[in-house]
DNA sequence: TAAATAACCTAGAGGTATTAGGCAAACGTA
DNA sequence: TACGTTTGCCTAATACCTCTAGGTTATTTA
């Protein structure tokens, strides 16, 4: 029988594409096998199980996203860096909804520790260097930015901003202004 | 055969409990049938299908959450109202993780329009009355608050804030301070 | 080129979603 | 109270999806 040449990496990539096409929750071992023209059982030589496959897609998405953010951040500082970071994040979510959803998968401690999630938090901290915040304010600000960006992207994708004439685009840009202003005048405890 | 006395509402409530116990994504028709000691097929007289069941749970959660927020908001204004709103939101998510996840389900336009989601956005606007923002700033602020609170609660539940000694509690309270300050001095375009 | 390895297959068990059709309990009514 | 109707729950059956065990064959390597 002709061999297709499967391996964990090809499966992960194809799984990510599938996620963007039909939604991360609809990525199944069966659907992926179908896409390669092989039987379901054949995939189990390459990935441990369905959960393992999903985790791999999540890790791939985290890496890709971190790469993009890193590229966007290069050579920028202050509000410029803030906007570049935020836009890289939002654009990725819009271009790759399935992958973005995958990146939200809850990883266990060990997996998270070794994932690009670490790069993400380091890069967020890097942005804040332009704003001169001492600990624990910096940690609080990291969490604020992470929450706001993630929350915004999630709500936008869910269509929550479609009920008023104000575009998601315009609000986004004003929110970046507002966060920049906030970081420059971070209230002391 | 003894009748258990099922109906859509009891199923929805039990489904919500199940969601809190085992996670919203693990709420299945089978699991719910098991819980009532009946066959899977029996549930289909009361809910159209699995999707319908999940939507009902989502709508229930939205109502409950709106009720809580409304109660928390009563008689408060300004930062007091902001904190009450935010805490009601976060507390609900912590007490009812499954229901909170359900409330995030993407509803179609029609369902959203008739759901408590409308009350939510009205209440968010009510908070902002204490801050004197004109349109479109008010809409932008509504979106900022929604994004930040939702994002924070989601990331906290995912364990994203467990990797540093700073508690999620402390950061939360500082973020409320920061948002309050930001709303009071919202930057003009 | 024979042995070892790896890639894919068949078979099958078990779980979930859903439809169709049946029987019996509960209810309304004469 | 008996009778018909409604409706709650059941059985049966189809269709996917997940995953394991064990086999066959293509490819690699000694």
Each residue's pLDDT tens digit, A108-157: 888 888 899 999 999 999 999 999 999 999 999 999 999 999 999 999 99
B contacts of A148 (beta carbons < 8 Å): 144, 147-148, 151
| DSSP structural state of residue B131 | G
| Low-confidence spans in chain B with pLDDT less than 70 | 1
Q: What pLDDT does A116 receive? A: 92
Please indicate whether, in this complex, the C-beta atoms of A158 and B106 are within 8 angstroms of each other.
Answer: yes
Q: What pLDDT does A49 receive? A: 95
Instruction: Round the CA-based radius of gyration of chain A to a whole number and report it.
Output: 19
- Six-digit token string for B161: 């804030």
Q: What pLDDT does A107 receive? A: 87
Using the CB atom, is residue A51 less than 7 Å from strand D? yes
pLDDT, mean of residues A178-182: 97
- Six-digit token string for A19: 């996620």
Residue labelled with tokens 């939002």: A90
Residue A188 banded pLDDT, cuts 50, 70, 90: confident
Residue labelled with tokens 């920028």: A76
Q: How do residues A50-75 score in pLDDT, each as one tens digit? A: 999 999 999 999 999 999 999 999 99
Instruction: Report the b/e string of A20-31 with b at 16+ CB within 10 A.
Output: beeebeebbbee
Q: How far apart are CA B124 and CA B142, in angstroms?
A: 6
Q: How far apart are CA A130 and CA B79, in angstroms?
A: 28
- Six-digit token string for B163: 């990797």
A152–chain B Cβ distance below 8 A for any pair: yes
Please indicate whether, in this complex, the C-beta atoms of B174 and A155 are within 8 angstroms of each other.
Answer: no
Cα A131 to chain centroid, rounded: 24
What's chain A's average pLDDT?
94
Angstroms from B81 CA to nearest CA on chain A: 19
Q: What pLDDT does A141 receive? A: 97
Burial class, A111, CB count within 10 angstroms (exposed 0-12 / middle 13-18 / buried 19+):
middle
DSSP string, A118-186: HHHHHHHHHHHGGG---TTHHHHHHHHHHHHHHHHHHHHHTTTT-SSSS-HHHHHHHHHHHHHHHHHTP
Angstroms from A181 CA to nearest CA on chain B: 7
- Nucleotides of C strand lying within 7 Å of any protein CB atom: 6-12, 15-21, 24-26
Please indicate whether, in this complex, the C-beta atoms of A174 and B147 are within 8 angstroms of each other.
Answer: no
A97–chain B Cβ distance below 8 A for any pair: no
Q: What pLDDT does B70 receive? A: 97
Among all residues of chain B, which has the CA nearest to that of A150?
A: B151
- Whether residue A33 has pLDDT greater than 80: yes
Nearest by Cα to A111 from A54, A71, A46: A54
Q: What pLDDT does B106 receive? A: 84
Angstroms from B107 CA to nearest CA on chain A: 8
Q: How far apart are CA B161 and CA B155, in angstroms?
A: 7
Q: What pLDDT does B112 receive? A: 86
Protein CA B13 to sugar C1' C27 (Å): 26
Protein CA B105 to sugar C1' D6 (Å): 35
Using the CB atom, is residue A28 less than 7 Å from strand D? yes
- Whether residue A189 has pLDDT greater than 90: no
Q: How do residues B20-73 score in pLDDT, each as one tens digit? A: 999 999 999 999 999 999 999 999 999 999 999 999 999 999 999 999 999 999
Q: How far apart are CA A67 and CA B119, in angstroms?
A: 40
Residue A1 banded pLDDT, cuts 50, 70, 90: low
pLDDT, mean of residues A81-92: 97
C-beta of residue A55 within 8 angstroms of C-beta of residue A107:
yes
Residue A166 banded pLDDT, cuts 50, 70, 90: very high
Please indicate whether, in this complex, the C-beta atoms of B136 and A170 are within 8 angstroms of each other.
Answer: yes
């Amino acid at each position: 029988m002709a061999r297709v040449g499967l391996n964990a990496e090809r499966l992960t990539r194809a799984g990510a594409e599938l996620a963007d096409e039909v939604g991360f929750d609809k990525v199944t071992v069966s659907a992926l096998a179908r896409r390669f023209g092989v039987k379901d059982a054949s995939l189990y030589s390459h990935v441990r199980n369905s959960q393992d496959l999903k985790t791999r897609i999540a890790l791939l998405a985290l890496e890709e996203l971190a790469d993009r953010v890193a590229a966007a951040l290069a050579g920028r500082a202050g509000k410029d860096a803030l906007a570049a970071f935020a836009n890289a994040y939002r654009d990725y979510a819009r271009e790759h909804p399935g992958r973005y959803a995958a990146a939200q998968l809850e990883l266990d401690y060990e997996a998270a520790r070794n994932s690009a999630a670490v790069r993400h938090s380091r890069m967020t901290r890097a942005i804040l260097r332009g704003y001169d915040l001492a600990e624990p304010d910096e940690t609080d600000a990291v969490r604020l930015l992470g929450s706001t960006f993630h929350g915004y992207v999630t709500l936008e994708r869910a269509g929550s901003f479609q009920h008023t004439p104000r575009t998601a685009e315009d609000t986004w840009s004003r929110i970046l202004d507002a966060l920049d202003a906030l970081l420059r005048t971070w209230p002391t405890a």
